[in-house]
Structure 1
Amino acid sequence: MRRWPVACAAAAGVLVVLPFLLPHPDVPDFAAILAPPSAAHPLGTDQLGRDVAARMVAGARLTLGLSVAAVLLTGLFGVAVGLLAGASKGPFGAVLVRTADLLAALPTVLFGLLAAVVLGPGVPALLVAVCAVGWTPFARQAHLLTVRETGREYVEGVVALGATRARVLAVHVSRNIAPPLVAHACLRFASTLLTVSGLSFLGLGVQPPTAEWGAMVAEGREYLFAAPHVVLVPSVAVVLTAAAATVLGRRLSGGGG
C-alpha cells in the first residue's frame, strides 16, 4: 500500500513536467495530420496535426481535476447527509435516505441534458450533472456505517461521560467510519471519471477544441480506421485510470485485487 502515494506523486510530477517538454496541445500542424506515432510525436497526431501526447497531458489535468473535484464535493455533502440520517431516529433521517434512493435511480445523463439546456454545454453543466446524483452513494454508505457505529457500546459510554451527540458524530463516529469511506471514494472516483468522460463524449461536458479525454475520443471517432491511435490512446487512458482507482479502492477496503 505504501507504493500508491509514491505512484500518485510521481504521476502528478509527470503531469507538471511534461507540458514543458511537449508541443503546445492546441497548435495545429497541417503537414502532420493523422501522423502515426514517431520520434517527433510519440503518440502521433490528430485530425488537425496536434500532438496527441501533449493533448493527453493537458486532458489529464482537466479530466482528472474535474473527477477529483466532483468526488470531493459529492463526498463531503453525501457524508454529511449520511451522518445526519444515521444519527437521526425520527422521520428526518428516513426522508434523507429516501431522497438519496430516489435520486440514485435517475440517470446522470438526464441531469446532464437538463444542465446543458439551462447552463449550456460545458464544465459548469458537467459538474452540476455529476454532483446532482454523485452524492447519493456517499450518503447511503455513510448512513449504513453511522447506524452501525452509533450502536456500539463505546458511543453510549462517551455520551454517559457528558459528550454531546454532535461531538460524538464529529469526533468519534466520523473518525471510525473514515477508512471505509476513503476506500469508497476511490471506487467512486473510477465511476466519476467514466461519467465525466462519457458526458464530454456526448457533447454535454467539456467542448472541443479543449483537450479532455472523452472529448478527444468524440473528436477522433471518425478517424478510427484511418488513425486508430487518435481514439485508442485517450480510451485506454480512461480505462486504465479507472481500473487503477478501482484496485486501490478494493485494497483499501480489504477486498484484495
Structure 2
Amino acid sequence: MLLWRAVLVAVLLCGVGLLPWLSRTDPALTVLRARSAERAPTPDVLDAIRGQLGLDAGPVRLLGDWLGGLPHGDAGRSWISGADVTPSVLQALGASLLLMGGALAVAAVTAGAACARTLRLGAARRLGERRSAGTGSALLATLPDFLTASVLASVVGVQLGWLPALGWYGPRWMVLPALSLGLPAGALLGRMLDDLLPGAFAEPWALAAAARGVRGRSVARQALRRCVPGLLPNVGLFVVGLTGGAVAVEQVFDIPGLGRLSLQAAVAQDLPVLQAGTLALVVLAAAVGGLARLTARLLIGPALRDGALPSLHRPTPSRPTAPPLLYGGLLLAVVALGLARDPLELDTTARLRSPSWAHPFGTDALGRDVLARVGHGALDTLALAAAVSVAALVLGVLLGLLPRFSGPLVDTVNAVPPVLAALLVTAVAGSGRATPALAVTAVAWAPLAAHTSALLRQERATTHLAATRGLGASPLQLLRHELLPAVLPPVLRHALLRLPGVALALAALGFLGLGAQPPSPEWGLLLSENQPYAERAPWASLAPAAALALLGAVAVTAGGGVRRPRVLRVRRRAAADPAQPVAGGSADEVPVPVAGPARREDA
C-alpha cells in the first residue's frame, strides 16, 4: 500500500514537473511573457532565461534538483518573481485551510438541516410518513460556487454592506466565501446522509431500542454514528477539494489561497510554485484520507472485524414519483421554447434587457436572447455531461471494488485541482473538443469510487453475507447477488446528484479556454460570460443557473426511485424446495413481522 502510494505521488510530481515540456512549448518563452510581455523574444534573451533557470540542463536534471532540495525545506525559487517558493506556498495553504474550516462548519450545519426531518421521524418511529427528501438540498447542491460567490459579494457585501466582499483580513472576511463553498457541499453530504438514515433506523438494534422505550434522541444519535462512516471518505475528498479547488471563489473574493496560487502558476508555467502547491495538496490528501479511515475504524471497527453489521440497504420496491415528471416537463418546455429562437441573433439596441414578453429570460451583453441560448445549449450540455457521468460511474464502481488499489489512487487524484488536471490532459492529448470530457472524467470518478469502497466494506461485514457464504456461495455469486445490488443504488443516486456539477465543471474549463468557446451557448459558458454582469443584469446568469438547478432536481428526484428491488425468485425457490440451499440469497429477503409503522421503509 505504501509503495503504491509512493509510486502514484512520484508519477504525479513528475507529470507536474514535466508540464512545460509535455505541453510542447518553450518554457523560456512562457516565463518571458509572464515577466515582460513587451520584451521581444530574441534568441539571446531566451538563452539567458534558460541559463538563469537551469532549463538548458533538461527536464530530468531540473526535476531531480527540485526533489533533492525538498528534504532541506528548499522548494526552489519562483521563475516569475524570483522569491522563495516555500513561504508563499505555506502562506497560501494557511489561508486555504482557514477558508476550508469555515466552509466545513457551514457544510455541517447545512447537512444537518438537510436530514433533520428524517432524524426527527426516525426518532419518533414514523419513517412511514417520510417522502422523497432532498429536492431542496439538490437545488442547493447544484448552485455554482462562483455564481453564489458573485451574488453574495454584490448583494450582501456591496449593496447591503453587511459583510466585507473583498480581501482577506480577518474572520468577517471569511463569512461570505465560506457560505459560497459550504452550502453546496453541505447539501450534497446531507442528501447522502439522508439516503442512509432510514436503513439505520430499521436495523434490529434500533427496533429493540424503540421497543424498550429508549429516548428517540439517543436512537437518532446512534443512527448518525452508524451512517457517518460510509460518508467519511467523501468528507475527506471535500476537505481537499475545498482547499485546492476553490479557485473561482478565491478569485471573486480576492483571497490569496492555494487554489488561486496554483492556477496562476499553472497558467504562467511557474514550475517551482506549481510543484510545491501540488505537493502540499498531496500531503494534505494523504493525511485527511488516513484520518478518515482511522475515524471509521474507531466508530465501527469491531463490527467490521466480526462481521456483525446488518445491511443499510434493504430490498424495497421502486416507486416512481411525480416530481421527476414535473421538473423534467418544465425543463423540456424551456428547451423547446428556446429551440424555436435564434441563439446568435444580435441586437445591440437591446443589450442587457430585463425579462419581457419578447425576451422571457432577458438578453445578454450583446443583445442575444438568453432563452434561445439556454435552449440551444441544452443538447451539448446534457449529452456531454451525461456521457462523462456514465463514464465516471463505471470507473468509480469498478475501481471501488478494488479498495487496496483505488484507495491511494483516489487520494492522489483528489489532490489535483480540476484546472491542473485539464492542463495535464491538454499537454498530453492536445486541445480539442474531447479535452474537457477527458479532464473531468479523470477526476469525477474519485468520489464515486470512495463511496463504493466505503459501502462495500460495510456490506461485506453484514451477518446475512456471512450466512450466505456459509451456504456455499462463491465470491462471484456474492458479488452479483448481494454486494452489487446493495451498493449500486446509493452510488447511482450519488452520481445523479453530481450530474449538474459535471456540467458546470465542463463549462469552467471552457471558460479557461480548454473547452467550449464563444459563441457556443453551452450552459456553463453562459454562466461564465454573464457573471461580470451579475449585479446589473442578474437574469442573464440566473437563467442558465436555474436550468442547472432543474437538471439537479430531475436527477435527484429520479434517483429517489432507484432502489434495491425485492427478490421474489429466491423466496419462490425456497418455498418449492425448503431443503435446497440457495446461494446468493440473504436474510434481508425474508420478511420479518414488525409492529407499527417501523416496517415501512423508504430507504
In the superposition, the TM-score normalised over structure 2's length comes to 0.36
* 1:10 corresponding residue in structure 2: 329
Query: How far apart are 1:130 and its partner, in Å?
Result: 0.8
Measure the CA separation in 2 of the matches of 1:229 and 1:12: 17
Aligned partners of 1:119 and 1:125 also within 8 Å: yes
Question: Which residue type is aligned with residue 18 of structure 1?
Answer: L
Aligned partners of 1:201 and 1:217 also within 8 Å: no
Measure the CA separation in 1 of the matches of 2:552 and 2:458: 30
* 1:78 corresponding residue in structure 2: 396
Equivalenced residue count is 244
Secondary structure, aligned partner of 1:37: coil
Query: How far apart are 1:135 and its partner, in Å?
Result: 0.7
Measure the CA separation in 1 of the matches of 2:556 and 2:462: 30
Query: How far apart are 1:41 and its partner, in Å?
Result: 1.5
Change over 3 Å in CA distance of 1:226–1:170 after alignment to 2:
same
Overall identity of the aligned pairs, in %: 34
Question: Which residue type is aligned with residue 187 of structure 1?
Answer: L
Measure the CA separation in 1 of the matches of 2:435 and 2:520: 15
Aligned partners of 2:527 and 2:544 also within 8 Å: yes
Measure the CA separation in 2 of the matches of 1:122 and 1:36: 35
Measure the CA separation in 1 of the matches of 2:336 and 2:554: 23
Unaligned 5+ segments in structure 1 are: 86-92
Measure the CA separation in 1 of the matches of 2:337 and 2:551: 22
* 2:491 corresponding residue in structure 1: 181
Aligned partners of 1:202 and 1:218 also within 8 Å: no
Query: How far apart are 1:126 and its partner, in Å?
Result: 1.0
* 1:24 corresponding residue in structure 2: 342
Measure the CA separation in 2 of the matches of 1:173 and 1:186: 20
Which digits, 9 at most, give the CA deviation of each residue in 1:65-85, with x for residues without a partner?
A: 3222222110111111112x2
Query: How far apart are 1:53 and its partner, in Å?
Result: 0.3
Are 1:145 and 2:425 an aligned pair?
no
Are 1:61 and 2:379 an aligned pair?
yes
Measure the CA separation in 2 of the matches of 1:233 and 1:49: 15
Are 1:95 and 2:95 an aligned pair?
no
Moved more, 172-181 or 40-49: 40-49
* 1:37 corresponding residue in structure 2: 355
Secondary structure, aligned partner of 1:102: helix
Measure the CA separation in 2 of the matches of 1:225 and 1:138: 36
* 1:229 corresponding residue in structure 2: 539
* 1:88 corresponding residue in structure 2: none
Change over 3 Å in CA distance of 1:13–1:227 after alignment to 2:
closer
State the structure with more CA Rg.
2
Moved more, 41-50 or 226-235: 226-235
Change over 3 Å in CA distance of 1:181–1:40 after alignment to 2:
same
Change over 3 Å in CA distance of 1:9–1:201 after alignment to 2:
same
Aligned partners of 1:34 and 1:47 also within 8 Å: yes
Measure the CA separation in 2 of the matches of 1:123 and 1:176: 37
Question: Which residue type is aligned with residue 356 of structure 2?
Answer: S
Measure the CA separation in 2 of the matches of 1:245 and 1:192: 15
Question: Which residue type is aligned with residue 145 of structure 1?
Answer: L
Measure the CA separation in 2 of the matches of 1:222 and 1:156: 58
Change over 3 Å in CA distance of 1:26–1:76 after alignment to 2:
same
Are 1:204 and 2:514 an aligned pair?
yes
Change over 3 Å in CA distance of 1:15–1:70 after alignment to 2:
farther
Secondary structure, aligned partner of 2:498: helix
Secondary structure, aligned partner of 2:420: helix
Change over 3 Å in CA distance of 1:111–1:73 after alignment to 2:
same
4+ runs deviating over 6 angstroms: 249-253
Change over 3 Å in CA distance of 1:120–1:23 after alignment to 2:
farther
In the superposition, the TM-score normalised over structure 1's length comes to 0.79
Measure the CA separation in 1 of the matches of 2:432 and 2:373: 18
Measure the CA separation in 2 of the matches of 1:30 and 1:45: 10
Question: Which residue type is aligned with residue 101 of structure 1?
Answer: D
* 1:89 corresponding residue in structure 2: none
Change over 3 Å in CA distance of 1:248–1:105 after alignment to 2:
farther
